[in-house]
Each structure stands twice: as structure tokens, then as C-alpha cells.
Structure 1
Amino acid sequence: MEELGLGPNGGLIYCMEHLGENLDDWLTEELENFLDDDYLIFDCPGQIELFSHLPVLKNFAEHLKKKNFNVCAVYLLDSQFITDVTKFISGCMASLSAMIKLELPHVNILSKMDLVKNRRDIEDYLNPEHRIILLGLNLMMPPQFEKLNKVLAELVDEYSMVSFVPLDLRKESSIHYVLSQIDNCIQYGEDVDLKVKDFDPEDPDIDAGCD
């Protein structure tokens, strides 16, 4: 990276773009090692520009879909980041930007809930309401920002899909709930259930056909 004069972020973007240009050379071969019902998780870098400005990850997802994979994006936001409404708006905008850019089914997760001392402090942020967001912004920002606050609150309200699922690693039920949300997005397991039912020996139609 020193030869190209790139820093950490620039180097990461350079590497991701290089990988994106050579998906057929490495990813296709790797995917051939997995079965139809395998569940793959790609842990992506956290730099927001990869999701909001560049087509690298969108092309990556499109490549997976062409290989008949059901794909969804899981966006993790640190719960410690949601300490006030201004930080919450920042997190919402980043999540919304990724949702629009990737054009994928999307699950937003509020991670590290086990570090939250008072769950009530962030209840309003799990399913944000326009009124509460606007009130909080107006209380924390100077009066000259009221019009901007109104637009931001309306934007979050318009894209009501921006809601967060809390993840507490101490609770098995929380992990299962998050997983169920992801499974629902990618319809994981539905094809398997259908195949089993199609060949259920107790099906009266099948029994009738065997007589």
C-alpha cells in the first residue's frame, strides 16, 4: 500500500475492488464446495463507504444471487453508540444508506445489548417514532437546525423499515430471535420443508395413487 500511497481505508477499498473484479476467479470456485442447504455468513469490513458509495458489495451480493443463493444484509449497530438521539440519527442514516445501495432484504441489529445498563434508555430507538425523534433533536440542537431536524425525522419515518432488533449474547432466546429474523429474510429452510411434505408417505393423494 505504501507504493500506491494509500492509507488503511484506501488500501481496503483497493483490495475490495480488486476482489470484486475477480469474483469468477476465486469466489465461484469456493462456492462449489458448499451444498444447496449450507448457510454462509460473510463478515464484511465495517467501513461505511463500502456500502454507501461503492458498488463492490452490491456486485458481490448480485454474484451470489446468480449462483442461486438467497441473500440478505445484516447491519450491526453498537448499542453503546445509541446514547442520544443525534447518534441514533447518524446510525439510521448509515443503515438506510446501506439498505438503499445494496437493494437486499435487510435486518438491523442493535448489538452488545449485554453492555446496556438500563434497557429503558434505548426503548424509543428500537422502533423509532417521528414525534420522539424530532422532539429529541430539537432539544439537543440549536433552533436554526429545526428544519433539518424535521426532514431527518420524516426520512426515518418514511422508511419505517429502519427498526432494530436487540441482540443480547447472554440470552439464548435473543440469539434465536435474531436468527429467526434472518432466516425469514432469506426463507431459509422453506425449500427443505416443502421437499419433505411433497414426499410425506401419509399424504392421502400419494396413498391413493399407490392402490
Structure 2
Amino acid sequence: MFGELICGPPGSGKTTYCEGKRQFLSVYDPTRPVVMLNLDPANEDIFPYPCDVDIRELVDHATVMQEEGLGPNGTYLFCAAVMQANVDWVLAKVEEAVERRVQEVLATEMTAAGAKTLRAPYLLIDCPGQVEFYVDAQVMPTLTHALAKRLQCSLCTVHLVDAGIATRDLPTYVSSCVLSLTTMIDHELPHVNVLSKWDTLPAEVLEDTGDDGATYLNASAMLSENMDRLWRRQLQRRRHEHRMAQHFVTAAQPAPQLTPEERAEDAQLTTIDLPKHGGRVYRYTRLLMDVVEGYGLVGYVPLDVQNQEMMLRLTQEVDNAIGNFF
């Protein structure tokens, strides 16, 4: 049995990816029984995918918050403790769901003569986005170890980061890289990092890199000159946006011509000595990026859930990571 532990910050597209992956596998590999496990006790009432195992049957975030009088984060820790104490319940539900999905695939795909061999069941785990679930609780290691020992399930962590948010400026990108690196070290599982919502990248971000955003995909290979070049480009873009806001530029009132002073300011930005004049934010970001580069582990796979080629590439990356070759 194989599976994916799908995690990432809130709003990074985890639930959407789960449904997209389920639909993709139903076409790309219909002999692979897919089981969906919702591990978020605060997930919305209506799922975009058929949920085989719902942790809210065991513990519900809203109910705990109301009955125990806890805040949102404290409620997550309470739910994590309940889940950790009832791992056997989760495993039993997963086993039932696997058996049911296997029988469904056998009934639909194995009846025809010369049908393909049944693939190993595939578990998609939709995880919470709150960091308390991973830093202050032991439910995730307990669950992953139990799945590996009892169900012989080889898991791969798929860590999603919203590409539009992560690339809006370099400090945010570096913080996303640190989060990805922390998750890799914490989970101790085969790992694939994903920049989700790749189709939402602003045009100016692609223009800044000059390579259609590929610079952001290999964080551990981002050289200091690449970072400095992007930093200067972003400084120029921010100054331009500030000028446009001051002039209230509209379609009826186009942007005014640059003054000689403004041209001199722009020219100064292209030659600024960032290590000397970049400020504390630049220096701190540079130090964090050195940590990411030092590990040499962080890279990203771009993903647009509606793009079949991107979904196929990500599926192949995950299969290679967990050894799902047959």
C-alpha cells in the first residue's frame, strides 16, 4: 500500500489537490484503488471529493471549541491528543475503506478479459494546515508509523505552498523554503515540495526571473547573484507601484513621464551594493537562504491541478520517491 501525506499552510490548495489527484488517477491509472482520508477536524462540511474516512466522526473542531471553551489553536491541540489516543480507530476505518475500494475496482476494471493487474491501494491523507499539529503534537509521527507497521503503507509527504504568495517577494519566498525544509526534517518521510496554483503567478514575477519562474523551483541552487538580481528587480517594481499610486494612474489618465530625478533613482537601484546598503531585512533573508542552500534539499515541482502534464509529472515524482513502480 502506498500513499501521500498532503500538508501545507492553510489556503495552499490541499483539499483541491486531493480531488484533482483522485480524478487524475481514475483516468491515468484506474486499476489503483484510491482511499481518501480527511485528517482535518475543522474541514468544511462539504468535500469536493468522496471522503472514505472522516476524522470528524471521531472529533470535531467546532464541537470541541464549544464544549471545552478553548480557542482555535488550543482546540487543534485537543483534537490532536484525541486522534493520537485513537489511532487504532483510524486504522480500522482505513482498512474497511481499502477493502471497499478494492472490491469496487475489481467489479469495474477486472471483469473484462485481459484486464490489467490490480495496483496496490493508494491512500490520500488531507492534513490540517495549522502548524500546531506538527510542532506541538505527536499525532502525525504516531499515525505514519502505525500505517507503516500495521498496513505496510509507504507514505510520501507532499508539501504544498501557494506559488502566488511565496513569490510575491524574496523574504516570503525564503520563509516558504524554511517551512518546507522544516517539514522535511520533521516528517522523516520521502518528500516532494510543490508550488501549487502555478497558473496564478503574476506576469511581473515571471518577468523578474527571466526564465518563466524556474529560478524559484530550485531553492537550494539559488546563487547569491540571482537573489541580488531579483531583490533589485523587486525594489524597482515597488518604487514603480508607489509612483503609480501617487499619480492615480487610470486608463483615462496614463502614467506621466519619468523626471530626471526619478531616472537617476532607478539607475541607482541597479547598482546598489545590497550587502552594504540592503538593510536588516536583506541581511536576515540572505542568512536564512544560506541555511536552505546549506542543506541542499529544497526544490519545488510546479503544479496547476487542471494541467494534466503537471499532474502526471508530480505523480511520477511521488511514485519514484516511495518506490511505487508496478
Q: Is 1:155 equivalent to 2:291 in the alignment?
A: yes
Q: Which residue in 2 is equivalent to 1:72?
A: 156
CA deviations on 1:85-114 (whole Å, 9 max, x unpaired) are: 111011111111111111111111100112
Q: Could you say if the C-alpha distance between residues 58 and 73 of structure 1 is closer, same or farther in structure 2, counting changes exceeding 3 Å?
A: same
**Which has more radius of gyration?**
2
* Range moving further from structure 2, 32-41 or 10-19: 32-41
Deviations 1:145-202 (A, max 9, x none): 56533431211102222111000123210111111111111112x3xx4xxxxxxxxx
Q: Give ranges in structure 1 of 5+ residues lacking alignment.
A: 194-211
2-structure distance, mates of 1:163, 1:124? 10
What secondary structure sits across from 2:183 in the alignment?
helix
Q: Does 1:47 align with 2:127?
A: no
**Identity percentage over the alignment?**
31
- Secondary structure in 2 matching 1:9: helix
* Distance change (3 Å), C-alpha of 1:53 and 1:43: same
Identify if the C-alpha distance between structure 1 residues 147 and 57 changes in structure 2 by more than 3 Å, giving closer, same or farther: same
Match of 2:169 in 1: 84
Alignment RMSD (CA, Å): 2.4
Query: 1:45-98 CA distances to partner (integer Å, 9 max, x unpaired)?
Result: 111232234322122111111121101111000011121111101111111111
CA distance in 2, matches of 1:155, 1:28: 38
- Cα 1:100–1:7 change in 2 (3 A) is same
Task: Report if the CA contact (8 A) 2:156-2:318 is conserved.
Answer: yes
Taking CA–CA contacts closer than 8 Å with sequence separation of 6 or more, which of the two structures ends up with the larger relative contact order?
2
- Segment drifting more, 167-176 vs 26-35: 26-35
Contact 1:130–1:154 (8 Å) recurs in 2 = no
Indicate the residue corresponding to 1:179 in structure 2. 315
Which letter does structure 1 place at the counterpart of 2:132?
E
In structure 1, the partner of 2:302 is 166
TM-score calculated relative to the size of structure 1:
0.79
Q: Is structure 2 residue 200 aligned with structure 1 residue 115? A: yes
- Tell me the amino acid that sits aligned with residue 296 of structure 2: S
Q: Give the conservation status (yes or no) of the 8 Å contact 1:114–1:168.
A: yes
8 Å Cα contact 1:156-1:162 kept in structure 2: yes
SS at match of 1:165: strand
Q: Which of residues 218, 223, 230 is equivalent to 1:127?
A: 218
1:12 maps onto 2:105 in alignment: no
Q: Supply the distance in 2 between the matched residues of 1:73 and 1:179 (Cα, whole angstroms).
A: 12
Pick closer, same or farther for the CA change 1:145–1:83 going to 2, 3 Å. Answer: closer
Tell me, in whole angstroms, the C-alpha distance in 2 between the residues paired with 1:57 and 1:133. 37
Gaps of 5+ in 2: 1-64, 100-118, 232-273
